[in-house]
Structure 1
Amino acid sequence: MVNLNVAASLVLAALTAPYATAAPADVWAPPITYPTDSTIWQVGWSNWVAWDTSNPPAHITNPNGTIYLVWDGEILFEDPGPLASGFSLMDGYVYFDVPNVTASNEWRVVLIGDSGDVSPPFALIQ
């Protein structure tokens, strides 16, 4: 025989399931503070990306970040791939070696974690 409390609980759960909603996610896109439009990076040298951590939400949905180069509006996921990954967005900066890419004044970086923020264009020299 089925326990009346269990049966009532199952019926109640089935009736209220369509009205259940997930807790809202706190998406955070901390603004990049470095590099700036006057920055010059050199291939092979150690450099960094920095971002503002002063206003994080209470619950960051993805606390880990990845930095990619952006060229001509395209994120370079494959070549050269991430400049840095697996760091905490709360760190506020991350260091890496600048990969061997074409010299230009139109490079950008994107910080991806919860969301994404893109830097202003900066120079990268050989």
Structure 2
Amino acid sequence: MCFSPPITFPTAGTVLVSKTQTTVTWDATGAPVNISNKALLMLRKGDLTAPFILAEGFDLRKGSLDITVPNVLADTDYEFVLLGDSGNFSPTFTIQSDVPA
């Protein structure tokens, strides 16, 4: 059984600021008891995902994860990718940064 929890934050149009803390959330309702704890959160820009690994080895059943927004190019085409038993993408959001696009 694959568990593919929808990411609930950030939502479409959210603006995050590099080098600040944020909490990524997902709906863990109905998570199987024997789910993998080897989850991975990555940052995707446009159609490039690697090598932006933000966190790994956390429990998908928790439903949230605190991260530091990476200091990347300022742009409007970012997504988080949540991997574990299955993969799921967040809606597209913006990162404001002092690194110009």
Q: Please give the TM-score of this superposition, normalised by the length of structure 2.
A: 0.88
Match of 1:103 in 2: 74
Secondary structure in structure 1 of the residue aligned to 2:53: coil
Q: How far apart are residue 47 of structure 1 and its match?
A: 1.1
CA RMSD of aligned residues (A): 1.3
Instruction: Check whether the contact 2:39–2:84 (CA below 8 A) recurs between aligned residues.
Output: yes
Q: How far apart are residue 66 of structure 1 and its match?
A: 1.0
Which structure's relative contact order is higher, taking Cα pairs within 8 Å and 6+ residues apart? 2
Q: 2:46 aligns with which of 72, 77, 88?
A: 72
Letter in 2 for 1:70: R
Name the count of aligned residue pairs: 97
Secondary structure in structure 1 of the residue aligned to 2:11: coil
Q: How far apart are residue 64 of structure 1 and its match?
A: 2.8
State the Cα deviation string for residues 48-106 of structure 1 (Å, max 9, x = none).
2100011223542x233111001112212x2xx31111110011000111111011111
Q: Please give the TM-score of this superposition, normalised by the length of structure 1.
A: 0.72
Q: How far apart are residue 110 of structure 1 and its match?
A: 0.4
Greater share of residues in helix: 1
Match of 1:46 in 2: 21
Q: How far apart are residue 29 of structure 1 and its match?
A: 0.8
What stretches of structure 1 of length at least 5 have no aligned partner? 1-25
User: In terms of Rg, which structure is larger?
Assistant: 1
Letter in 1 for 2:48: E
Q: How far apart are residue 112 of structure 1 and its match?
A: 0.5
Greater share of residues in strand: 2
